[in-house]
Structure 1
Amino acid sequence: MKKSNKHYKTPKWSKHNAGKTPPIEPQAGSWPLHFFKRNWSNQFTNLDGELVSFKIRNPKLIDFEKELIAVQNTQQNLTDEQREIAKYYGFGPPTKQWTPVIDRLIDTYNVSPVRAARILAATQAAINDALLITWQLKYVFDIARPDQLDPTLETVVPTPNFPAYPSGHATMSGCAEVVLSYFFPGERVRLREIAEQGAMSRLYGCIHFPIDNSEGLRLGRQIGDYIVKELKKAVDVTETLVDTPYKENKEAVLPPPPWEQAIPYPPPNSQPNMRNSFFFF
């Protein structure tokens, strides 16, 4: 089916947020990256200085009124499991859910200490870059949240205090999926399931439009592909490739389920005021 080129008016997050609580980290899109650089015109390049082109749908081509209807329909038909998924991924930053996945893979495959350090460092550095690229796009696109367009919409988790498009959870999940699939190709199918579930959780939470999540996953996987190209270049002093991916599928038992945090959130002794609290992504 051919995509429509019709232009729509984009709902501005900054307009709806005017005069409210200061936005979260609006300058994060300019923070240092690990696997990318920025050129003189603030375009992304790889480490060799070659221009990197990320494909993401122009929000002016997105019908956000239609997207809002999808969120409203989702909210009205949520299952108990979908609510649990929304809460599992919704409280705490997305690294909270992916770090136990990385640790479980390292344990399952009996990874050596130095390789474990490399896998952790590479994946978390990739997550850093995915989120900072997302943050730049969020504040450039400046797209409102579902409950800003429909104040009667009841969200499952609190709405974060920054623009919606693309979803940080989805972008980060897509990137982590690709990078971890490079190190553990046998677990590729399960990692994809986790990434897609993490993205969908934002719709179940009613704080993101469907397009935020699908385009976020798409963007994250592109970022991950570029990062894997860089990782594959690494050699030791003998010019031997550093990485030896674990091709065997040991069917690691990766969370979730159960829908319980590896580390409770919020901390056991805290009693947050939900009305005034903001949770990432």
Structure 2
Amino acid sequence: MRESSIWLVGLLACVACSDGPTLPVQDEPGSAGARWATWVLQDGSVLRPSAPPAASSEQARLEIEEIVRLQSRPGWEAEVRRWEGAPSLPWTHQTLDLLEFYWPLLPDVRVATPARAARIMALLHVAQYDALVATWDAKYSYQRPPPFVADSRVHAAGAVAGVPSYPSEHAAVAGAAAVILSYAFAREDTAEFQADARRAAESRIAAGVAYRSDVEAGLALGRAVAERVIQRAMADGSDAVWAGSVPQGENLWRPTPPRRVSSPFDPLAGSWRPWVLQRVDAFRPEPPPALGSEAFATDLNELRRLGTERTARQGDLARFWATDAPSTRWELFLAEEISRRGWSALRAARAQALLSVAMYDAFLACWDAKFHYWLARPITADPRIATVFATPPFPSYPSGHSTISAAASEVMAELLPDAAKTYHDKAYEASLSRVWAGVHYRFDVVAGEQLGSRVGKKVVEYGRRDGSAFGGK
């Protein structure tokens, strides 16, 4: 550690006197990040790369010269800025853009159903997080000073994390993301994912914070981590084909107008493998109110009244939350917080993994209940109900939006205690939006809120045991 402290003092001195637009990185965990608990890897050391080139080697000299040449070219800062900040965020946004492309293709192309969209985000963020923990293990095993510390001709551009440079964290995240996206969106031009990964990784060379050998090691490490995540994904049960049939009976689900999709979305999602929950039915809600009961009639009559009493604001909020993948709203909320607060690579990736896992596990718990009870949608009980948009093609009870939003708000409150009320309020708004839209009974959303909160708290408990400095108070 003495050697580390010597070069770190030098690094800070370089930053202080740099002419470049250097910025601080908040909440850098240092060597402790190498010991944070991982999701798929046994620990951060299992894929440790071989040692980097020695500082006195010809390869290191040539790599320094490459950086000097890059920084002498006009316009080199543009690519650096494009990939600046927490390295996971550009890939989050790219994945959300891809999901948005696939939503209009539903129900014919079922890449971006609610549960499958959440699954993709969880795979992406788990892979990025595990890749970063493995990167931190290697960084503090080899203690390689970054190029701008090694040679005064190299300038550090953008944020400086104050960590060893080998391997590159941007490269590790990019390598992992490209592999996950190639798996999740196999219809796309997967070569472009790899090209984006290369651009993201090499931007750190021009930034003066990584050698080429740092980048190559990071890309390889990220890819290796992602392959392990995909091995798990291929055995999670999501490829099972439903061979069942829609049950027949009073107040049981049936296809709803206008498209009357006969095959509901992901009826087997309740059997997929969760990340944190031991059993997806552990918190299964009690049965919904029976048709003809006072409780059922009360909530049905509320929906009938909304046809004439719905306010403009209620309609607007119903449409705001009316995404085919409600988890994506929460992914964006967190991405905005990470950018605004300037979180470090590891802290950002940890937060994103916890949020995505909570929503994925919540979807599984919700879908278990939906296809256990097979409750008909309100429009089936009364075709005169005026909905804001078409009713989604799967059973009513409990509400998916309510379940995943409650789970998400528990994690967001843990990650952002100063904004806990804001996100609990958003979850409540998301939940009520389904009643305002006319596609859910109030008892659907209440059950979803309770279910999601219990799932979210389980994920929070998991996060508090992961060894990070941000495991809750």
What TM-score, normalized by structure 2, do the two folds share? 0.44
**Secondary structure at 1:56 match in 2:** coil
State whether structure 2 residue 283 is matched by structure 1 residue 54: yes
Alpha-carbon shift at residue 122 of structure 1 (Å): 1.0
Counterpart of 1:190 in structure 2 is 422
User: Map of 1:1-281 to 2, 5 A cutoff?
Assistant: 11-14=251-254, 21-38=262-279, 44=281, 53-54=282-283, 56-60=285-289, 63-235=295-467, 241-243=468-470
- One-letter amino acid of the counterpart of residue 358, structure 2: A
- One-letter amino acid of the counterpart of residue 265, structure 2: I
Q: Is the Cα contact below 8 Å between 1:179 and 1:227 reproduced in 2?
A: yes
- One-letter amino acid of the counterpart of residue 311, structure 2: T
Counterpart of 1:47 in structure 2 is none
Q: Distance in 1 between matches of 2:256 and 2:390?
A: 16
The Cα offsets for residues 50-92 of structure 1, whole Å up to 9 and x where unpaired, read as xxx4263431466322221011112321111111111111133
Alpha-carbon shift at residue 231 of structure 1 (Å): 1.1
**Secondary structure at 2:321 match in 1:** helix
- One-letter amino acid of the counterpart of residue 96, structure 1: T
Q: Distance in 2 between matches of 1:54 and 1:226?
A: 11
Q: Is the Cα contact below 8 Å between 1:16 and 1:144 reproduced in 2?
A: no
Q: Specify whether residues 194 and 96 from structure 1 end up closer, same or farther in structure 2 by C-alpha distance, changes over 3 A only.
A: same
Q: Is the Cα contact below 8 Å between 2:399 and 2:440 reproduced in 1?
A: yes
- The Cα RMSD (Å) is 2.2
Q: Distance in 1 between matches of 2:345 and 2:250?
A: 49
Q: Distance in 1 between matches of 2:444 and 2:457?
A: 20
The Cα offsets for residues 96-148 of structure 1, whole Å up to 9 and x where unpaired, read as 21111111111222211111011011100110000011001000011111111
Q: Distance in 2 between matches of 1:59 and 1:153?
A: 20
Q: Is the Cα contact below 8 Å between 2:284 and 2:365 reproduced in 1?
A: no
Task: Please list every run of 5 or more consecutive structure 1 residues that lacks an aligned counterpart in the other structure.
Answer: 1-8, 45-52, 236-240, 248-281
**Secondary structure at 1:92 match in 2:** coil
Q: Is the Cα contact below 8 Å between 1:10 and 1:64 reproduced in 2?
A: no
Q: Is the Cα contact below 8 Å between 1:31 and 1:132 reproduced in 2?
A: yes
Q: Distance in 2 between matches of 1:204 and 1:16?
A: 18
The Cα offsets for residues 27-67 of structure 1, whole Å up to 9 and x where unpaired, read as 111111100223xxxx75xxxxxxxx426343146632222
Q: Distance in 1 between matches of 2:461 and 2:323?
A: 32
**Secondary structure at 1:26 match in 2:** coil
Q: Is the Cα contact below 8 Å between 2:253 and 2:394 reproduced in 1?
A: yes
- One-letter amino acid of the counterpart of residue 34, structure 1: W
The structure where helix makes up a greater share of residues is: 2
The Cα offsets for residues 142-174 of structure 1, whole Å up to 9 and x where unpaired, read as 111111111111210110110000000000000
- One-letter amino acid of the counterpart of residue 191, structure 1: Y
- One-letter amino acid of the counterpart of residue 148, structure 1: T
Q: Specify whether residues 117 and 20 from structure 1 end up closer, same or farther in structure 2 by C-alpha distance, changes over 3 A only.
A: closer
Q: Is the Cα contact below 8 Å between 1:85 and 1:201 reproduced in 2?
A: yes
Q: Distance in 2 between matches of 1:226 and 1:242?
A: 19
Q: Distance in 2 between matches of 1:134 and 1:160?
A: 14
Q: Is the Cα contact below 8 Å between 1:131 and 1:168 reproduced in 2?
A: yes
**Secondary structure at 2:266 match in 1:** coil
Counterpart of 2:150 in structure 1 is none
Alpha-carbon shift at residue 226 of structure 1 (Å): 1.3
Q: Distance in 1 between matches of 2:261 and 2:389?
A: 19
Q: Distance in 2 between matches of 1:128 and 1:69?
A: 32
Alpha-carbon shift at residue 230 of structure 1 (Å): 1.2
Greater than 6 Å deviation, 4+ residue runs: none
Q: Is the Cα contact below 8 Å between 1:234 and 1:243 reproduced in 2?
A: no
Q: Distance in 2 between matches of 1:124 and 1:10?
A: 36
- One-letter amino acid of the counterpart of residue 167, structure 1: S
Alpha-carbon shift at residue 16 of structure 1 (Å): 7.8
Task: Please list every run of 5 or more consecutive structure 2 residues that lacks an aligned counterpart in the other structure.
Answer: 1-248
Q: How many residues end up aligned between the 2 structures?
A: 220
* Amino-acid identity (%): 28
Q: Distance in 2 between matches of 1:101 and 1:161?
A: 27
Q: Distance in 1 between matches of 2:448 and 2:404?
A: 8
